[in-house]
Structure 1
Amino acid sequence: MEPHVNPVIKAQVSEYAKSGSIKSLKESEKFEVYSIFSILTGYRGESVEALDVHLKGDEFGVDGIALLIQGEVVKNREEVLEKIEHIKNPSIEFVFFQSKTSDKYDYGDASKFFDAIVDFFEGDLAAESTQVSELTEAKDAIYELAVSKRNPSISAFYIATGNYDEPKKIERLKQNFCQRISGMNIFHNNIEVSIVGAKELQKWYRAATTAVEAEIEFPKAVVMPEHKDVEEAYIGYISADQLVKLFTMPDEDGYPVGINKSVFFDNIRDYDPNSKINKEIKDSVLSDGGRDFVFRNNGITVVAKSIDRTGDKFRIEDYQIVNGCQTSNIIYEIVNGDQYKNLRSGHIVPDINIPFRLIGSKEDEFISSIIVGTNRQNPVKEEQFWALRPFMKNFEEYARSVDAEEIIYFERRENQYRGQQVERVRIIQPAVMMKALAACILFQPHRAARDYRGIISEYNGRLFQDEHDVRIYHAACYLHYRLEFLWRNQKVDSRSKTFRFYIICAVGLIVTGEKNVFSMRKNKIESVAKNIINIGKDEDGLRSIVEITTKIIEGKIGDMRDFSQEKVRDLIRSESFSLEFKDSVRSKIFKLFHKYRVE
């Protein structure tokens, strides 16, 4: 990193690299990943792994490309197909990044960045790298299959470390770029192009790494009945301008701009402004000035880890809006609409009030019960509901209480560890846990990546049982973490990442001999878990398994140059390929790592 870079930025980059176990990247690359993280997580409120967005090569004019479907990163055509298979009319976003450690804003660099974005959509950037080629295929799949009802949105962030004073040449460049992009007629009307500097990066990084907080006025709060798991709770109603403070991010003047998606348990992207019921609600508010809204609406429920009350003012920290996604969107549209342009003067329509419950609790189990109770009607969140089962609580507590080297942070609720000083690479989401189990314990690597939802359904009564030993679940997650650590620090060839679930499966086969773990005696299960952990800790041994497994798979595929990445993924996701792979593991790997076998 350049010596004159802002010292606060330097410190934040160093902290981010440490928490993410990013050691092998060059300083300029660490800054690129840091800036992507700060913007996506701190500014946009997305729960996204920045390394999945960062481009690994020297691509022309661009350092990161995020293709987001319902807020989740997709990196290739197969992942697009997986996402849209379960979602009608998905929310789709393209986000581009170019980061420079210089404190200067260079016209030539900005021009290259804007040209690269245009080239991406015209197909001319695909040859820059395999990664961009796969993203191009994903983009094509999106436009072929997923944009029948609404166009994707697009955002572009050019980042440096100085103060941007809006020079006329670069501002004209921005305007010309927006016209070019708009003229393609393939995007939503709201095109965001931002020139970012040190001040914004610092603020957004802090927002991404600290617990969310807000201060609201709640003048008619009524204290709710006592409960053993509740420190304090209130019920009543609040005005629209106070509600908006809870789910928007303020600009430099304190005015609300943009929805902070991270505070919602409900998926904020599922809001459809054109749905009949939402139009009716909005129209009713506009027609009578909002006086009827408090009587017609079910209201908002907020759960906070900390509430500090001073009179009618409430400062709340580490909170989520667990119910009220639709209401919040409607209110946001109203107070930012043409009808109420006086928003910036602070005179939001005073007659719009919303029923409101504020619950202060640090008990995760109780918080989970509130989430389930207020969201059961929403089928989209089914995967999160199974993550709230009693077994998962036991697993979560165990996985973060083991020796420091073996710790895993199981994220039962999205953004659960936001604001906590934890090594982010050790955070495991429920979907990742299920995929690791499918490969390591159920020996189904061909289904792990795409059909894990089917596995959840198929094994619903046989996994996550109260009597199960949490250690075997922990071992599978730890192995996934250790492999990710090797890849992100370039300790094994990145091409092997395509085969990650076969590698995890190979370890499971080595240790168990393909026996049903859950039918073993307790001491045997303990030994299986311990040996999987030991393989994960043995960096040289794990690297050897990665290399041998990769050679086995590539040997079965043949000359990789004859196949596209999509074709390779199709091959390895077939049951016949999986069966052949297991035969090869038995014959070629078992003897090499026999010391880890549990007989």
Structure 2
Amino acid sequence: MASNNLALLNSILEEYHAENPIGLDESFERFVSEMFFKKYDFSDEEVAGGLVGGKKDWGTDGVYIVFNDRNISDVEDIDFDNLAKNFDIHLFIFQFKNKTSFEENVINKFNTGYKYFVDLDKVLPEISSGISQDIIDKITLFREAVTKSASKYPNVKITFIHASRGDSAPILAEKSQNYAYKQKISDLVQDVEKFSLGASTKCEYLLLGVEELKKLNQYEKSYTGSLKQNENPIYVEYGEEKNKQKGYIATTTLKDYFDFLVEEDDKGNVTLKEHLFESNIRDYQNKTEVNKSIETTLSNPLITQDFWWLNNGITILADVGSLTGKTFSLENIQIVNGLQTSYSIYNAFKNNKAALMNDERTIFCKIIITEEEESRDAIIKATNSQNAVSPSLLRSTDNIQRDIEQYFQMNNFYYDRRKNYYKNKGKDTKRIISINYLAQALTAILKSSPSRARTSPTVLTKKDDDYKSLFNTATSIEVYLHVVLIRKKMEEYLTTSFVATDDIDEYIKKYFKLHLTRILASLLTKTYKVSAKDISNLTPEIINGASDVKLKKSIEILKIIIQENPSDSSNMANFSKTEKSARLIDSQVKVFLSPEKVK
């Protein structure tokens, strides 16, 4: 390890902790997970959702389940009907040690728990046996995902990750300084690969030390790029001089477009730049008949028709662009139409790039250069509406979503209607609000259902009726900001002022933040069933100025419910997800507010 590496990493961690004022070990866990999943473009909520460390966890600190490079937090996130054969399931299991060494006993803890994931016949332990519900939920989700997709014969990979601030080089060296640890790694990998979970089961064991973590931190997604054209493009401009928007119609070779889509590591391995598709309405639809046909065409270089004759092409948006000769230089690139084609090109040539060297076929491109947000949204919506698209996929372009984004910016918040848009622009993460975060606050407060809000945030806006009940023009725009401020106020108190003195306090901080948010909303509005009008009548000053008395009282009300229902609350994680907990809150809040004028 270079002499300065540890000092540099420690400085990076100190800066990260200053921006995320939580415990040092918890900060280290979040840092490692966030850096590791940068290439997967995980949101902050997705990173936090995989951290399961605490008590009764077999030493496991993080579990993430990824389907075709997409994080899965609930079985309802998976569209089993549209999965292709031999798709990828990737299970990541972490242990984080905020120490300057790699301790051999970590692998013993991996050995204790991993069979519950991969041995589908193994009976899960009861919660009373001392295993946390968070771990059991992750095991159940992984097993259900594997068994329900069995007919598609997935390729399953399990990656164990031991992260610390130590130096991995002596262990990984050919002449290892810790042969016993290296041998245990080999044994674990072989044992895991004996289990049949699909078409194939692969396993790897990673050590993330000071050098690896420093490199992960240095990685930055690039939204700039150059795209060489096959011939001089046709140029079209539109609008007044000061707001002129430019467009080009062009073709580029498959090889040049492939190079534009991927990044290559020092070993020659290529990875798709998935972040270039953030604004695309659809996700990749796996090997549908259309995509199979595209890949079949691509794999046959002797076909007599050029590729662009047979394909609708690609639409690329950029904020800024220039053309030098036949090469575009583009900034803030988004591929807003043509995701299926792009993925098919990537899949066809990712393991055989040499096949492109003499391939003269081309692909049709529309390149539009504009900074006008309204134009960008209109283009996204129009280019994805020629064929049947679920309305839910177009929601980020809804007027109500644009209005919320604008109103939040006026109040020093950034509404991420497009996933990670503001995070990638370097905005303060504490001021960034995702659609899921807002939907959870709305559900907890206006629907008096913190249990449903906590159970599966991604499902809250999946159905049209649910979405429209939360996001509609009949709701005053202030309501969306106010519910966020209430949630933020409670979370800030739990993080900075509330000191846990027993297990119940710890569970409250971990599982009941949304329940406390719902209670605080009632105390602020003095009504046990809170309406949008009640919330709109508040002001940011009232919410931000909520006294510690109200915040403490919210916790007291919740504690009364827990203490009076010992059989239900014996499993606190499960209890927090039950509708019964929500109804008990309604009743207890109504009792507390009875001397007041209860609406």
1:558 — aligned with what? 566
1:415 — aligned with what? 420
2:134 — aligned with what? 131
Change over 3 Å in CA distance of 1:286–1:279 after alignment to 2: same
Aligned to 2:52, the other structure's residue is in SS state: coil
Greater Cα offset, 291-300 or 182-191: 182-191
Matched, 1:433 2:438: yes
Q: Which amino acid aligns with 1:157?
A: I
Q: Which amino acid aligns with 2:400?
A: F
Q: Which amino acid aligns with 1:276?
A: E
What pairs up with 1:109-508 in 2 under 5 angstroms? 109=106, 113=110, 116-118=113-115, 120-122=117-119, 127-151=130-154, 152-161=156-165, 162=167, 164=169, 166-168=172-174, 169=179, 174-186=185-197, 188-189=200-201, 191=203, 193-207=205-219, 212-228=223-239, 231-252=245-266, 255=268, 257-265=270-278, 266=280, 270-273=284-287, 275-289=288-302, 292-337=306-351, 340=352, 342=354, 348-376=357-385, 382-402=391-411, 407-445=412-450, 447-449=452-454, 450=456, 452-453=460-461, 457=465, 460=468, 463-465=471-473, 468-486=475-493, 491=498, 493-496=505-508, 497-508=510-521
Q: CA offsets, 1:130-165, max 9 Å, x none? A: 432332233343345454424344333344554637
Hey, what's the Cα distance between the residues in 2 that align with 1:143 and 1:490?
42
Change over 3 Å in CA distance of 1:160–1:302 after alignment to 2: farther
State the shift of 1:585 in Å: 0.9
Structure showing greater relative contact order (alpha-carbon pairs closer than 8 Å, 6 or more residues apart):
1
2:43 — aligned with what? 47
Aligned to 2:237, the other structure's residue is in SS state: coil
Change over 3 Å in CA distance of 1:184–1:251 after alignment to 2: same
Greater Cα offset, 89-98 or 362-371: 89-98
Q: Which amino acid aligns with 2:63?
A: I
Change over 3 Å in CA distance of 1:308–1:224 after alignment to 2: closer
Hey, what's the Cα distance between the residues in 2 that align with 1:418 and 1:553?
38
Work out whether residues 118 and 197 of structure 2, in 8 Å CA contact, stay in contact via their aligned partners in 1: no
Change over 3 Å in CA distance of 1:447–1:298 after alignment to 2: same
Work out whether residues 442 and 470 of structure 2, in 8 Å CA contact, stay in contact via their aligned partners in 1: no
Hey, what's the Cα distance between the residues in 1 that align with 2:576 and 2:236?
55
State the shift of 1:51 in Å: 2.6
State the shift of 1:23 in Å: 1.4
Hey, what's the Cα distance between the residues in 2 that align with 1:483 and 1:147?
43
2:586 — aligned with what? 582
State the shift of 1:299 in Å: 1.4
Change over 3 Å in CA distance of 1:308–1:341 after alignment to 2: closer
Hey, what's the Cα distance between the residues in 1 that align with 2:393 and 2:561?
33
Work out whether residues 443 and 505 of structure 1, in 8 Å CA contact, stay in contact via their aligned partners in 2: yes
Hey, what's the Cα distance between the residues in 1 that align with 2:463 and 2:445?
13
Change over 3 Å in CA distance of 1:301–1:392 after alignment to 2: same
* Structure 1 unaligned blocks of 5 or more: none
Aligned to 2:515, the other structure's residue is in SS state: helix
Greater Cα offset, 421-430 or 112-121: 112-121
Work out whether residues 441 and 487 of structure 2, in 8 Å CA contact, stay in contact via their aligned partners in 1: yes
Work out whether residues 306 and 317 of structure 1, in 8 Å CA contact, stay in contact via their aligned partners in 2: yes
Work out whether residues 528 and 598 of structure 1, in 8 Å CA contact, stay in contact via their aligned partners in 2: no
Work out whether residues 248 and 368 of structure 2, in 8 Å CA contact, stay in contact via their aligned partners in 1: yes
Work out whether residues 561 and 584 of structure 2, in 8 Å CA contact, stay in contact via their aligned partners in 1: no
Work out whether residues 313 and 341 of structure 2, in 8 Å CA contact, stay in contact via their aligned partners in 1: yes
State the shift of 1:36 in Å: 1.0
Matched, 1:527 2:537: yes
Hey, what's the Cα distance between the residues in 1 that align with 2:248 and 2:493?
48
1:9 — aligned with what? 9
State the shift of 1:276 in Å: 2.8
Q: CA offsets, 1:529-555, max 9 Å, x none? A: 44xx63355362453244134224425
Work out whether residues 41 and 420 of structure 2, in 8 Å CA contact, stay in contact via their aligned partners in 1: no
Change over 3 Å in CA distance of 1:472–1:352 after alignment to 2: same
Work out whether residues 251 and 257 of structure 1, in 8 Å CA contact, stay in contact via their aligned partners in 2: yes
Hey, what's the Cα distance between the residues in 2 that align with 1:562 and 1:328?
50
Q: Which amino acid aligns with 2:321?
A: I
State the shift of 1:40 in Å: 0.8
Change over 3 Å in CA distance of 1:156–1:246 after alignment to 2: farther
Equivalent pairs counted in the alignment come to 562
Q: Calculate the TM-score normalised by the size of structure 1.
A: 0.80
Change over 3 Å in CA distance of 1:148–1:267 after alignment to 2: farther
Change over 3 Å in CA distance of 1:454–1:201 after alignment to 2: closer
Instruction: State the Cα RMSD in Å.
Output: 3.9
Aligned to 2:236, the other structure's residue is in SS state: coil
Identity of aligned residues (%): 19
Q: Which amino acid aligns with 1:47?
A: S
Hey, what's the Cα distance between the residues in 2 that align with 1:247 and 1:53?
29
Aligned to 2:334, the other structure's residue is in SS state: strand
Work out whether residues 528 and 589 of structure 2, in 8 Å CA contact, stay in contact via their aligned partners in 1: no
Work out whether residues 48 and 72 of structure 1, in 8 Å CA contact, stay in contact via their aligned partners in 2: no
State the shift of 1:236 in Å: 0.9
Hey, what's the Cα distance between the residues in 2 that align with 1:446 and 1:129?
19
Aligned to 1:232, the other structure's residue is in SS state: strand
Hey, what's the Cα distance between the residues in 2 that align with 1:200 and 1:231?
43
Hey, what's the Cα distance between the residues in 2 that align with 1:544 and 1:250?
53
* Structure 2 unaligned blocks of 5 or more: none
Change over 3 Å in CA distance of 1:580–1:257 after alignment to 2: same
State the shift of 1:172 in Å: 5.8
